[in-house]
Amino acid sequence: MAVVAVGGRELTYVRRGAGEPLLLIQGMAGHHGLWGEEFLSLLARDFDVVAFDHRGVAGGGRVDEPFTVRDLAEDAVGVLDGLGWDSAHVLGISLGGMVAQELVVAHPQRVRSLVLGCTYAGPDGGALDGPGPVRMMTAAATRDVSKSLRAGYEANLSPGFRADEAEFERFVEAVLSEQVPAPVIALQMQAALQHDSVAGLADVRASTLVVHGTEDEMITPKNGDHVASLIPGARLEVFEGVGHLFWWERPERTAELVREHALGR
């Protein structure tokens, strides 16, 4: 891992490949390891890929005070500055998709193209009513790590994908590869619940692709329709039978979509 100084703290990141710059923004409780080496390697064939970790995650400094999604977007700007990138293609998923929305609204010149995955724009037409978060919080209340990991696996991945038990072992290994403190997750959830970029998305001019799985229990598929409807010219790609972590279940197809959307090939 490398580090970049942003706002008085050091955010961690990994970098792969060469080509046009591509910034990956993870979701709630996520870290760079949850992109998976297979997906990162596929993207690295065409891009200079940077996957950074949010404040408080994977060594990214202690975080005690509340923050907003817009604050996290300013962190992303700081990462771009630290890397010396004037602009980049941006892929944000879940909470990271909310961050990417705020980034493109506040700093449109920094975003070459935009991919928003399994995300939410705000309460006026969207809803954070998926059963997955409740399942995960119920398991977390037991303080049984194995139950929490299993609940996270079931909430984030489709039944069809979960049929192969070997995938659970791979998921657990990735989740536990970096530290995401519980208080930071709680602050991320607070920020996500306050997120509302509905009005601002009407002014987005970056070429935008929205991706959502039909079996997403964390942020339900209707939110993909909603996000795409708000951004002029946005295209919606629906993954049938796929859960929240769509790039985990369909890494080759997701990488292909990002390449086609960003590079036109």
Please state, for a pLDDT cut of 90, what percent of the chain lies above it.
Answer: 89
What pLDDT is recorded for position 38?
A: 96
pLDDT tier, 135 (very low <50, low <70, confident <90, very high otherwise)? confident
Which residue, 120, 96, 99, is CA-closest to 216? 120
pLDDT tier, 60 (very low <50, low <70, confident <90, very high otherwise)? confident
Residue 200 has pLDDT above 80, yes or no: yes
What is the three-state SS of 118-167?
Answer: CCCCCCCCCCCCCHHHHHHHHHHCCCCHHHHHHHHHHHHCCHHHHCCCHH
What pLDDT is recorded for position 134?
A: 85
Residue 140 has pLDDT above 90, yes or no: no
What pLDDT is recorded for position 176?
A: 92
Residue 242 has pLDDT above 90, yes or no: yes
Instruction: Give the number of other Cβ atoms within 10 Å of residue 163's Cβ.
Output: 8
Alpha carbon 255 to chain centroid distance?
14
Look at 33-47, 48-62, 236-250 and tell me which has the smallest mean pLDDT.
48-62
The full set of domains in the chain, from first to last, is 2-263 (3.40.50.1820)
Averaged over 245-254, what is the pLDDT? 98
Averaged over 97-126, what is the pLDDT? 98
Q: What is the pLDDT of residues 1-33, one digit of tens each?
A: 899 999 889 999 999 999 999 999 999 999 999
What pLDDT is recorded for position 193?
A: 96
**What is the DSSP annotation of 74-135?**
HHHHHHHHHHT-S-EEEEEETHHHHHHHHHHHH-GGGEEEEEEES----TTT-----HHHHH
* Average pLDDT across the chain, whole number: 95
What pLDDT is recorded for position 96?
A: 98
Q: How does 176-202 read in b/e, with b if 16+ C-beta sit within 10 Å?
A: eebebeeebbebbbebbeebbbbebbe
Note whether 31 and 58 are within 8 A (CB).
Answer: yes
Q: Which residues does residue 237 pair with via DSSP β-bridges, in sequence order?
A: 211
- Determine the Cα angle at 118 with ends 161 and 24, to 5°: 100
What pLDDT is recorded for position 41?
A: 98
What pLDDT is recorded for position 23?
A: 98
**Helix/strand/coil for 66:** coil
Q: Which residues does residue 211 pair with via DSSP β-bridges, in sequence order?
A: 117, 237
Which residue, 208, 214, 220, 240, is CA-closest to 116? 208
Averaged over 150-174, what is the pLDDT? 94
Q: Which of the two residues, 135 and 11, has the higher pLDDT score?
A: 11
- The conformation of residue 60, written as its DSSP 8-state character, comes to S
Which residue, 127, 113, 124, is CA-closest to 205? 113
What pLDDT is recorded for position 92?
A: 98
pLDDT tier, 137 (very low <50, low <70, confident <90, very high otherwise)? confident
Query: What is the phi-psi region of residue 111: left when phi exceeds 0, alpha when psi lies from -120 to 50, beta otherwise?
Result: beta
Q: What is the pLDDT of residues 71-95, one digit of tens each?
A: 999 999 999 999 999 999 999 999 9
pLDDT tier, 142 (very low <50, low <70, confident <90, very high otherwise)? confident
